[in-house]
Structure 1
Amino acid sequence: MLKPPAARAALANHYSPPSLSRDVTLWPLSSELDHPTADRRALRRLLRQRRGQLTAPERRNAEQALLRRLKRLPELLRARDIALYLPNDGEIDATRLCRWLQRRGARVYLPVLRPFAVNSLWFVRYDDHTPLVSNRFGIAEPDTRFGAHKGRRLPAWALDIVLMPLVGFDEAGARIGMGGGFYDRSFGFTRRAGPRPRLIGLAHHCQKVPALPVQAWDIPLDAIVSDREIVRPGRRHGNASS
């Protein structure tokens, strides 16, 4: 799928052909990261630093490995309405999945900061003709005026799959995001009975830590996929690694 100019410029570094196959290096963990009650701001800072130290070849290799895992994910094979994200700040890039999804007849949506709402998201249809702008965080998203048309967006509950970026995750499937609470607020309804999408976090393997502090408002995920494994919360030692 061809990217609109704003997205192509923002993602240019993610689309070079892979050149190296060596493993991603895991840096020694700070003691701040090892403790389950570590300060979440410190965790975010250290994990973003770790993610930022990946080289361009390591990022490309991780992206390819992630896509291979996603294409074998049973939930994704059945899905028709999928939300993903345009990567920012070193987040692992899954946008090459768009062409594969479209060939299967699936529809792709992007998160948009919802106007006149506190830290919540719209999900707007994304294709070659979707106009993109930078939001207040400098992240590319569909133009609000484009997304304001109801026929171009889908309610969060009506999505089949939501692929969301993570700052960190642990072996139990806990996760930590950027701290704005956008996904937590937008998907708070998943705690209740009723239609809901499958929530799947994406991350580089180097963002994994032994344990993360969990807050009451953190929305649980159905799975976390990295370039090395698939973590399914509640399945101890039951991770898919292929």
Structure 2
Amino acid sequence: MSYPLNTLRKTLRKQRRAVNPFQQKQAEQRVLNQLIRLPKFQRAQKIGVYLHAFGEIHTRKIMEYCFAHGKAVYLPMICSMNQRLVWVKVSQHQYRSQRFSHHPLGMKEPMAARGLHVSTLDMLLMPLLACDAAGTRIGMGGGFYDKTLAAAPGAPYRLGLAHDFQLVQDLLPREAWDQPLDGLLTPQHFFGFKR
């Protein structure tokens, strides 16, 4: 690879933060338009989604679509004991009233005592910093999604959401613990991968 991973992370974080509100709205709508045409999404009933916080593809319209079409929405919560994510079902009312706690890492989490294992979800929509043509995903560096998905080799279907500039041309290094994606959705494209 032609540049170190920490340089790539820094560059993409900066680029993601520079996406203006109008561009974010456009990207969010285009991703939703593609998502609702995917057979995997059409069949899925339990959808794991993230609350955008760092310039990722926004997820408000996706969640509202799920609520309107009878799909259950689950949000991630970090389990402090093992640093893995558990999934908490939220209602439309809970989401709209923004009853979330602030995690020290900067994101919002649902307020709940207990969440479900990731394998109970049908589809998991994942944020990322970078993805390559082989489905290797680079996250924010905490390893929460990798640790969580290592315990769920089958379900759920793992779909990364990203701006088009987050798809990188060079193959990213993949460590043994890295959990690849099944698919990547950008405002312009859908890519399917063989895990």
The two structures have a TM-score, normalised by structure 1, of 0.74
Alignment correspondent of 1:227: 187
Q: 1:159 aligns with which of 121, 126, 130?
A: 121
Displacement of 1:200 after TM fit?
A: 0.7
Displacement after TM superposition at 1:95 (Å)? 2.1
1:203 to 148, 162, 172: 162
Answer with 1 or 2: which has the greater Rg. Answer: 1
Distance 1:53 1:206 in 2: 12
- Opposite residue 141 of structure 1, the aligned amino acid is E
Write the deviation string for residues 130-153 of structure 1: whole angstroms up to 9, x where unpaired.
63110111211112xxx214xxx3
> Following superposition of structure 1 onto structure 2, how do residues 60-99 of structure 1 map, counting pairs within 5 Å?
60-99=25-64
In 1, are the aligned partners of 2:29 and 2:61 still within 8 Å (CA)? no
- CA shift, 1:234, in A, is 4.2
RMSD of the alignment, in Å? 1.7
Cα offset for 1:78?
0.3
Contact 2:118 2:152 in 1 (8 A): no
Indicate which of 15, 20, 25 corresponds to 1:55.
20
Matches within 5 A, 1:162-173: 162-173=124-135
Moved over 6 A (4+): none
SS of 1:190's equivalent in the other structure is: coil
Length, aligned pairs only: 190
TM-fit CA distance, 1:154: 2.3
- Distance in 2, Cα, partners of 1:37 & 1:107: 42
8 Å contact 2:35–2:41 — kept in the other structure? yes
Query: 1:151-208, CA deviations, whole angstroms, 9 ceiling, x for partnerless residues?
Result: xx322111101101010112232221011110000010233xxx52111111111112
Matched residue SS, 2:77: strand
- What are structure 1's unaligned runs of at least 5 residues? 1-35, 236-242
